[in-house]
Amino acid sequence: MTGGAEVPREASLDVIQRELTAFARRARAAAARVHPELPLVSYTLLAHIDGQRGCRATDLATHYLLDKSTVSRQVATLERLGLVERRPAPDDHRVQVLHPTEAGAEVLASAQTSRLAAYQERLRDWSADDLAQFAAYLLRYNTASPSGLPDSSPH
């Protein structure tokens, strides 16, 4: 499988396109099955908030290419669920610094555990080496400057 560069670029690109799209299509459903209580996006945002140890809504929006209104509502939902709290920044009255509540941290940990378990199960047959390389490829793909896409067009 690691053979010698015989596959034409275009064929690989086609597969990558199709498979990434296929993954995208299924991701939400899978996420919902794994942890119905915490919707995919909320989960992701909560994880980011937690990972950053406090961040602003705008940060989330730019990081995930989401509209501010989307983030605003997602955060509102998370707050309504008691998973995050907003602390007004003392220095800048416009911004709200988001932090996970204790409950939020717990829910997040639980969700992370079960999702990790699902991946663990799914990728059971993979060697550690393949896992590492697949992860590296994904990382490389995602961190590639999004300017590679015809991003532009602010509508």
Shorter beta-carbon distance to DNA: residue 23 or 134: 23
Give the x/- contact pattern for its own copies in 112-131, rule: CB under 8 A: ---xx-xxxxxxxxxxxxxx
Query: Binding of its own copies at residue 8 (CB under 8 A)?
Result: yes
Binding segment for DNA (CB under 7 A), chosen from 55-63, 100-108, 110-118, 137-145, is 55-63
Cα–Cα dist 56/94, whole Å: 10
Residues 6+ apart with CB under 8 A from 75: 45, 57, 60, 84, 86, 98
Give the closest residue to 131 by CA, choosing from 145, 117, 120: 120
Distance of alpha carbon 116 from the chain centroid:
13
In the bound complex, what is the minimum distance in angstroms from residue 139's beta carbon to DNA? Answer: 20
Query: What residues line the site for DNA (CB under 7 A)?
Result: 25, 28-29, 39-42, 56-58, 65-77, 86, 92-96, 155
